[in-house]
């Protein structure tokens, strides 16, 4: 036996910055909120409509901001066009660079179709600039068939599956980082993403003033389910590798046994996850509790989803591969660190507020022909005028703008 | 030593199967995260390096000459010699172990297929290079390399790594690290040429050669002679370097990169 001391060793920095956490966080919210929007907006399930409207807002805002975070994580952001000049079908990241714009276009198109009837109605409302902008956004008074919306919705669902697969595979194929190189990581991204999406919708339900009782019930039910699934994935991942001498579980146990920081992280993660599952289970049992605690659980769920990505993407990079101990990583204040994290959240808030200001998203409709004349009215020219009343009547929210 | 045998067999197979098979194998390798076709470089050569650890005195001449030759930013290294103090637990006797590190120019380089813009590629002579005009600086390759051989060059904001000094090899010169090695510990050469020094040494020491992290399946082409198996992986060592702090807890001695 001998004691080994490292005397000379280079300092290895981290290669992916907190921007990457923001991208994976927002993108996971994007595809999972789309799935939550699907029953109401795409499949036409009436009791999901209110939830779908919130989910659609969450989906569009996260989808718009996520690519900014991704771009910022490149050291040469202005060279992003190289992705399209040199397509590389064997690289997951290149595949993602083609899926991402597709996903963005599909989700924004879907939301636009869902928001158009309300936009058209607002454009007729004589509300000054808000009406004028609503008219521009509606882009004419024509009506899209319901089938177009279903088709765009299905395309968006397909692209969201692509995003789910690529974001998971991109990280999980990296053999150089044993903690990433496990088949259990991609499903865990999806499970924690779903938890975060439910949390975000619960939070939006409260702060938007919609306060839909159905939404609280539905989101807490899905959240409990996603917590159970995440628990099973974590357990299976552990059992799958508990006896292996190498691999992601062995690397995790190594880190936990060697580092206080990792011990604390594991404790925090475990406690936050179990606490969230337990609280969600308790809160979902009565409408009063759901109303009172929904948004608090929402915040906790977003915390769990974000922290999971922080630990996976940032903390794992501090595990040394060729030197003893752990790399020192303290989040910098500048744009490679804290300012970047806050900046992306700020941008997201801005996107939410701009949509809130200019789009009557509370009245999103599953039928792009909402404002069409009723079948008994044969006149094809009265299209937009009758819409306002019908939209408002169907809306379960409190329409307001500005 | 299996990976070495496999890589040698692989190279023999490639030689014997001949150039006719190359286009076929490139068509077959279209799967996601598979190795793309190699381009540029001499297809008749396969560069590799043998490092005779018995000759290394840890003088870091290679580190310095590489740094100057390739203009790496302060704090980043294309090659470096890790040094360890090994104390015999019973006797308290102390010895020093040197481990020169550089890009392994693997036969199955994990950094190449991940590159989303094909800026990182493997030449036909086995050298893995980066086209810094094309690189977008996504750092995917930096994370993919299990040997930490890559870094983001803060001057160019692109991926940077050892190229076996390809520009010098093409001019008929030795890489800076080989040229400056006082003990002659680093031997570079064409492993397809049976008469080259590296081929002869590999034949002579076949059973003693080791590579870093062979279980990763990367088939490294930097071979170590006089290696202790404990050091082929992340060392089970005290991280001494981080203890250099002043009374206020501020780290001293590592001014690089700030």
Q: Does B256 touch chain A (CB under 8 A)?
A: yes
- Whether residue A386 is predicted with pLDDT greater than 70 in this model: the reply is no
Nearest to B6 by CA among B232, B214, B200: B214
Chain B residues with CB under 8 Å of A258 CB are: none
* Chain B residues 65-124 within an 8 A CB cutoff of chain A: 75-77, 80-90, 96-97, 101, 110, 113-119
Does A92 sit within 8 Å of B33, measured CB to CB? yes
Identify the DSSP state of A182.
Answer: -
Q: Which residue has the tokens 């146990």?
A: A253
Per the DSSP assignment, residues forming a β-bridge with A335 are none
Top-confidence residue, A246 or A362: A362
Return phi, psi of residue A90, to 5°.
Answer: -90, 0
CA distance B68 to A61: 48
- Whether residue A379 is predicted with pLDDT greater than 50 in this model: the reply is no
CA distance A117 to A361: 10
CA distance B180 to B66: 9
Q: What is the distance of C-alpha A348 from the center of its chain?
A: 11
Option in B152, B218, B257 nearest A75 (CB): B152
Does B138 sit within 8 Å of A73, measured CB to CB? yes
Q: Is A49 buried (19+), middle (13-18) or exposed (0-12) by CB count in 10 A?
A: buried
What lies within 8 Å, CB to CB, of A129 at 6+ separation is none
Whole-prediction pTM value?
0.86
Option in B86, B143, B148 nearest A16 (CB): B143
Decide: helix, strand or coil at residue A277: helix
Does A246 sit within 8 Å of B117, measured CB to CB? no
Per the DSSP assignment, residues forming a β-bridge with B87 are A3, B94
Residue in chain B lying closest to A166 (CA): B32
Q: Does B32 touch chain A (CB under 8 A)?
A: yes
Option in A5, A83, A175 nearest B216 (CB): A175
What is chain B's Cα-based Rg? Answer: 19
What is chain A's Cα-based Rg? Answer: 23
Option in B80, B85, B114 nearest A10 (CB): B80
Residue in chain A lying closest to B238 (CA): A5
Q: Is A22 buried (19+), middle (13-18) or exposed (0-12) by CB count in 10 A?
A: buried
Token readout for A401 is 């703008």
Tell me the nearest-neighbour CA distance from A173 into chain B, angstroms: 8
Residue in chain B lying closest to A95 (CA): B116
Token readout for B254 is 């590592």
CA distance A118 to A104: 22
Option in A7, A88, A322 nearest B240 (CB): A7
For position A395, what pLDDT does the model report? 40
Does B257 sit within 8 Å of A11, measured CB to CB? yes
* Chain B residues 156-195 within an 8 A CB cutoff of chain A: 157-158
Does A322 sit within 8 Å of B148, measured CB to CB? yes
Q: Which residue has the tokens 């003088």?
A: B59
Token readout for B102 is 């550089």
Does B256 sit within 8 Å of A11, measured CB to CB? yes
pLDDT, tens digit only, all 258 positions of chain B: 445 544 544 444 444 444 444 444 444 445 888 888 999 989 999 999 999 999 999 999 999 999 999 999 988 899 999 998 898 888 889 999 999 999 999 999 999 999 999 999 999 999 999 999 999 999 999 999 999 999 999 999 999 999 999 999 999 999 999 999 999 999 999 999 999 999 999 999 999 999 999 989 999 999 999 999 889 988 888 776 554 555 666 655 553 333
Q: According to DSSP H, which parts of B91-157 are helical? A: 111-114, 140-144
Digit-coded pLDDT (tens) for A210-269: 898 889 999 999 999 999 999 999 999 888 887 777 788 888 888 888 888 888 888 888
CA distance A369 to B74: 64
CA distance A113 to A339: 35
Does A1 sit within 8 Å of B33, measured CB to CB? no
For position B66, what pLDDT does the model report? 95
Q: Does B26 touch chain A (CB under 8 A)?
A: no
| Angle, helices A338-358/A49-73, rounded to nearest 10 degrees | 140
Residue in chain A lying closest to B80 (CA): A10
Digit-coded pLDDT (tens) for A46-69: 899 999 999 999 999 999 999 999
Does A322 sit within 8 Å of B82, measured CB to CB? yes
Option in B32, B119, B136 nearest A74 (CB): B136
Report yes or no for ipTM above 0.90.
Answer: no
Decide: helix, strand or coil at residue B56: coil
Which residue of B89, B102, B116, B255 to mutate against A (max A Cβ within 10 Å)?
A: B116
Chain B residues with CB under 8 Å of A317 CB are: 143
Token readout for A213 is 């009782």
CA distance B182 to B161: 23
Cα dist from B233 to A183, A281, B147, B228, whole Å: 23, 45, 10, 10
Nearest to A43 by CA among A143, A148, A155, A153: A153
CA distance B49 to B42: 17
CA distance A22 to A67: 10
Contact B211, B197 (CB under 8 A): no
Q: Over the range A369-378, which residues count as b (16 or more CB within 10 Å of their CB) and which as e?
A: bbbbbeeeee
CA distance B97 to A324: 14
For position B252, what pLDDT does the model report? 55
Q: Is A264 buried (19+), middle (13-18) or exposed (0-12) by CB count in 10 A?
A: exposed
């Amino acid at each position: 036996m001998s004691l080994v001391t490292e005397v000379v060793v280079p300092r290895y920095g981290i290669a992916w910055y907190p921007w990457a956490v923001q991208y994976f966080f927002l993108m996971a919210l994007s595809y999972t909120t789309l799935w939550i929007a699907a029953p109401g907006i795409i499949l036409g399930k009436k009791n999901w409509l209110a939830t779908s409207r919130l989910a659609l807002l969450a989906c569009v805002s996260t989808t718009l901001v996520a690519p900014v975070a991704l771009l910022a994580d490149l050291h040469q952001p202005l060279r992003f066009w190289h992705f399209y000049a040199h397509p590389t079908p064997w690289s997951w990241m290149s595949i993602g660079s083609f899926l991402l714009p597709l996903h963005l276009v599909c989700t924004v198109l879907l939301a636009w179709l869902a928001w158009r009837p309300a936009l058209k109605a607002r454009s007729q409302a004589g509300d000054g600039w808000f009406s004028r902008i609503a008219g521009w956004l509606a882009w004419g008074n024509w009506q899209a068939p319901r089938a177009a919306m279903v088709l765009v919705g299905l395309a968006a669902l397909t692209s969201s599956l692509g995003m789910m697969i690529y974001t998971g595979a991109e990280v999980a194929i990296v053999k150089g980082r044993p903690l990433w190189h496990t088949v259990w990581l991609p499903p865990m991204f999806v499970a924690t993403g779903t938890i975060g999406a439910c949390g975000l919708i619960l939070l939006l339900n409260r702060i938007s003033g919609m306060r839909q009782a159905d939404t609280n019930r539905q989101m807490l039910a899905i959240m409990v389910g996603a917590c159970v699934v995440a628990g099973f994935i974590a357990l299976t991942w552990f059992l799958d590798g508990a006896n292996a001498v190498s691999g992601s579980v062995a690397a995790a146990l190594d880190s936990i046994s060697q580092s206080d920081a990792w011990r604390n992280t594991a404790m925090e993660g475990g406690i936050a996850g179990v606490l969230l599952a337990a609280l969600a289970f308790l809160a979902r049992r009565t409408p009063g509790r759901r109303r009172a605690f929904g948004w608090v659980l929402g915040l906790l769920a977003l915390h769990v989803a974000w922290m999971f990505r922080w630990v996976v993407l940032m903390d794992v990079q501090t595990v040394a591969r060729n030197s003893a101990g752990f790399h020192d990583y303290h989040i910098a204040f500048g744009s490679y660190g804290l300012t970047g994290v806050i900046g992306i959240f700020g941008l997201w808030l801005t996107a939410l507020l701009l949509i809130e200001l200019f789009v009557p998203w509370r009245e999103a409709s599953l039928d792009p022909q909402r404002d069409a004349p009723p079948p008994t009215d044969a006149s094809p020219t009265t299209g937009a005028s009758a819409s306002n009343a019908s939209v408002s009547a169907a809306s379960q929210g409190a329409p307001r703008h500005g | 030593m299996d990976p070495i045998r496999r890589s040698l067999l692989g190279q023999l197979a490639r030689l014997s199967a001949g150039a006719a098979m190359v286009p076929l194998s490139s068509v077959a390798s279209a799967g996601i995260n598979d190795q793309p076709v190699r381009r540029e470089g001499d297809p008749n050569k396969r560069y590799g390096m043998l490092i005779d650890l018995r000759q290394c005195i840890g003088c870091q001449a290679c580190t310095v000459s590489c740094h100057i030759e390739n203009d790496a930013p302060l704090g980043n290294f294309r090659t470096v010699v890790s040094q360890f103090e090994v104390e015999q637990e019973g006797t308290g006797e102390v010895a020093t172990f040197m481990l020169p590190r550089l890009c392994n120019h693997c036969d199955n380089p994990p950094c190449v297929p991940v590159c989303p813009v094909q800026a990182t590629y493997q030449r036909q002579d086995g050298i893995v290079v980066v086209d810094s005009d094309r690189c977008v600086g996504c750092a995917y390759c930096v994370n993919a390399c299990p040997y930490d051989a890559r870094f983001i060059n803060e001057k160019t904001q692109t991926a940077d790594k050892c190229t076996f000094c390809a520009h010098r090899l093409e001019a008929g010169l030795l890489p800076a690290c080989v040229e400056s090695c006082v003990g002659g510990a680093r031997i570079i050469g064409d492993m397809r040429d049976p008469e080259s020094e590296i081929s002869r040494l590999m034949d002579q020491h076949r059973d003693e050669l080791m590579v870093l992290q062979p279980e990763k399946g990367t088939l490294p082409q930097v071979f170590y002679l006089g290696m202790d198996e404990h050091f082929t992986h992340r060392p089970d060592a005290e991280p001494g370097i981080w203890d250099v702090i002043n009374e206020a807890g501020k780290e001293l001695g590592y001014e690089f990169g700030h």
